[in-house]
């Protein structure tokens, strides 16, 4: 169903921190045994971890500036490399000038000032390198927690700047993502004010359009999807079915136009809309190590269910899609059709008032497909159901 930017950036930072912690531990162990033999291992680990997080934040801040992935892949690394080559601008006759703080606003420079190679650094700067770790290693002392604050630009300053860079670039990424990303630039097409919805219930789409750099995926789509009914979007691959579902669920923003879901505007009230919709995406959104019961319990808690209500709803969801006998099996061991059933069960969880089902029966055998059609007809009361499919018979039977 998509996530709000704060949740997205928090989860990305948390998962990346776990990965960087492992990588940093390996790097700290390797370098600690070869270069920083006298320095405290925890300081080396912390330096690499903060460097990884600051670099991640820096790349996130650059991402909204690009609308083309290939261009970003070419220009992004080049910009990062250039940012790491500014050391000479802060040298005056081999001595560091007063611009260390300014230079440390770039993650690569903050890291370099904190831990440049001992031999090369001392030869270039005649023993005056701002890298306290390198300087202390050269004197056979190393940097410890007791000496971390010593020197004109101590290691503690580099660590502090790396932490500051992480927060600064995450804030910048959040701002640029809201202002520039996804086609919402100043040159984006102007959206005309919308007329009043035809109904407070159901889904009303008004002149919805989605344009990508390579072409238009959805052009001027307008339709009304009534409640207590199943509306099928029938078309071949590339017809724009998945793009339409993605726009209506907030996964991608429309280039122009708007829609209302139960009277709420997609452009202005997306957060409120997400509390009442269920989505079965075209790609299975499951974790292979979790069982169907664990999946439904997780999503049920996200829906606000708990205790006996949660257990009862999970049991009903498994029974609806016929997964009772596979309730405790790893999702990775399920067949393709059973994985689709699990995704459908997640979408039905918690009494979602609007269901968006993107090819929910793909990969199922004919018997299972007929059972799902019957289930959807049963579940349409009190709901607005939008279903995409390649098959005319599925559209007619649903």
Q: What is the pLDDT of residues 80-107, one digit of tens each?
A: 788 777 666 655 544 455 556 666 677 7
Beta carbons of 149 and 140 less than 8 angstroms apart: no
Looking up tokens 């531990």, which residue turns up?
25
Q: How many helices (H) and strands (E) does the chain have?
A: 15, 10
* Residue 186 is assigned to a structural domain of this protein: no
The DSSP code sequence of 190-225 is PPPPPPPPS-SSSEEEEEEEEEETTEEEEEEEEEEE
Higher per-residue confidence, 121 vs 393: 393
* Residue 209 is assigned to a structural domain of this protein: yes
* Residue 76 is assigned to a structural domain of this protein: yes
350 and 225 share one domain: yes
pLDDT of residue 398: 61
261 and 323 share one domain: yes
CATH number, position 328: 3.40.50.300
How far lies 234's CA from each of 52, 131, 389, in Å? 46, 63, 5
> How large a percentage of the chain has pLDDT more than 70?
77
Query: Which of 153-167, 288-302, 340-354 shows the lowest mean pLDDT across its residues?
Result: 153-167
- The helix-helix angle for 5-34 and 155-179 (nearest 10°) equals 150
135 and 281 share one domain: no
* Residue 195 is assigned to a structural domain of this protein: no
263 three-class SS? coil
357 and 209 share one domain: yes
175 and 211 share one domain: no
168 and 25 share one domain: yes
174 and 223 share one domain: no
Distance (Å, whole) CA 198 – CA 131: 67
HSE-up (13 A, CA, CB side) for residue 379: 29
Length of the chain counted residue by residue = 398
Q: Which residue among 145, 179, 213 closes a domain?
A: 179
Q: What is the pLDDT of residues 227-276, one digit of tens each?
A: 888 888 887 777 888 888 889 888 888 889 889 888 888 888 888 888 88
Neighbours of 31 (CB within 10 A): 18
Phi, psi of 243 (to 5 degrees): -65, -40
pLDDT of residue 35: 72
* Residue 188 is assigned to a structural domain of this protein: no
Phi, psi of 71 (to 5 degrees): -65, -40
Neighbours of 305 (CB within 10 A): 20
pLDDT band at 295 (very low <50, low <70, confident <90, very high): very high
81 and 216 share one domain: no
Residues 6+ away with beta carbon under 8 Å from 61: 169, 170, 172, 173, 176
> What is the arithmetic mean of pLDDT over 116-138?
43
Judged on CB neighbours under 10 Å (0-12, 13-18, 19+), 363 is middle
14 and 88 share one domain: yes
* Residue 187 is assigned to a structural domain of this protein: no
pTM score of the predicted model: 0.53
165 and 308 share one domain: no
> What is the arithmetic mean of pLDDT over 348-375?
83
Structure tokens at 207: 């002149």
Beta carbons of 39 and 133 less than 8 angstroms apart: yes
Looking up tokens 């992480």, which residue turns up?
166
pLDDT band at 297 (very low <50, low <70, confident <90, very high): very high
243 and 170 share one domain: no
Alpha helical stretches, state H, 259-358? 270-274, 292-302, 307-321, 336-348
Structure tokens at 148: 């971390």
* Residue 211 is assigned to a structural domain of this protein: yes
Beta carbons of 4 and 12 less than 8 angstroms apart: no
* Residue 137 is assigned to a structural domain of this protein: yes
243 and 158 share one domain: no
pLDDT of residue 227: 87
**Total of domains in the chain:** 2
Range of the domain at 234: 203-397
Q: Is the pLDDT of residue 378 over 70?
A: yes
Higher per-residue confidence, 9 vs 209: 209
């Amino acid at each position: 169903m998509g996530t709000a930017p704060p949740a997205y950036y928090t989860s990305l930072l948390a998962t990346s921190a776990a990965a960087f912690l492992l990588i940093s531990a390996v790097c700290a162990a390797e370098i600690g045994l070869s270069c920083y033999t006298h320095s405290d291992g925890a300081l080396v680990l912390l330096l690499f971890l903060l460097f990884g997080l600051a670099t991640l934040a820096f790349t996130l801040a650059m991402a909204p500036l690009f609308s083309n992935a290939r261009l970003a892949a070419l220009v992004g690394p080049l910009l990062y490399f250039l940012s790491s080559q500014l050391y000479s601008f802060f040298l005056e006759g081999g001595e560091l000038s007063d611009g260390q703080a300014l230079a440390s606003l770039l993650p690569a420079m903050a890291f370099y000032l904190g831990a440049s190679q001992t031999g090369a650094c001392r030869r270039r700067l005649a023993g005056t390198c701002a890298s306290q770790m390198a300087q202390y290693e050269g004197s056979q002392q190393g940097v410890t927690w007791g000496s971390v604050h010593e020197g004109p630009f101590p290691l503690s300053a580099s660590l502090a700047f790396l932490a500051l860079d992480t927060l600064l670039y995450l804030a910048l990424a959040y701002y640029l993502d809201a202002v520039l990303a996804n086609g919402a630039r100043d040159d984006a097409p102007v959206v005309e004010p919308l007329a009043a919805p035809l109904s407070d219930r159901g889904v009303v789409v008004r002149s919805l359009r989605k344009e990508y750099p390579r072409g238009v995926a959805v052009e001027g789509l307008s339709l009304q999807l009534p409640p207590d009914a199943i509306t099928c979007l029938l078309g071949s691959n590339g017809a724009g079915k998945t793009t339409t579902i993605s726009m209506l669920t907030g996964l991608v923003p429309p280039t122009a136009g708007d829609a209302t879901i139960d009277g709420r505007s997609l452009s202005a009230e997306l957060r409120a809309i997400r509390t009442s919709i269920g989505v079965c995406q075209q790609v299975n959104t499951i974790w292979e190590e979790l069982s169907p019961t664990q999946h439904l319990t997780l999503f049920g808690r996200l829906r606000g269910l708990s205790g006996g209500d949660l257990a009862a709803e999970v049991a009903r969801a498994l029974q609806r899609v016929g997964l009772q006998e596979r309730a405790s099996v790893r999702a990775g061991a399920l067949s393709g059709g059973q994985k689709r059933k699990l995704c459908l069960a997640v979408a039905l969880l918690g009494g979602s008032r609007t269901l968006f089902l993107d090819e929910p029966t793909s990969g199922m055998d004919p018997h299972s497909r007929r059972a799902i059609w019957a289930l959807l007809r049963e579940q349409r009361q009190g709901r607005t159901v939008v279903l995409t499919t390649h098959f005319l018979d599925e559209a007619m039977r649903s």
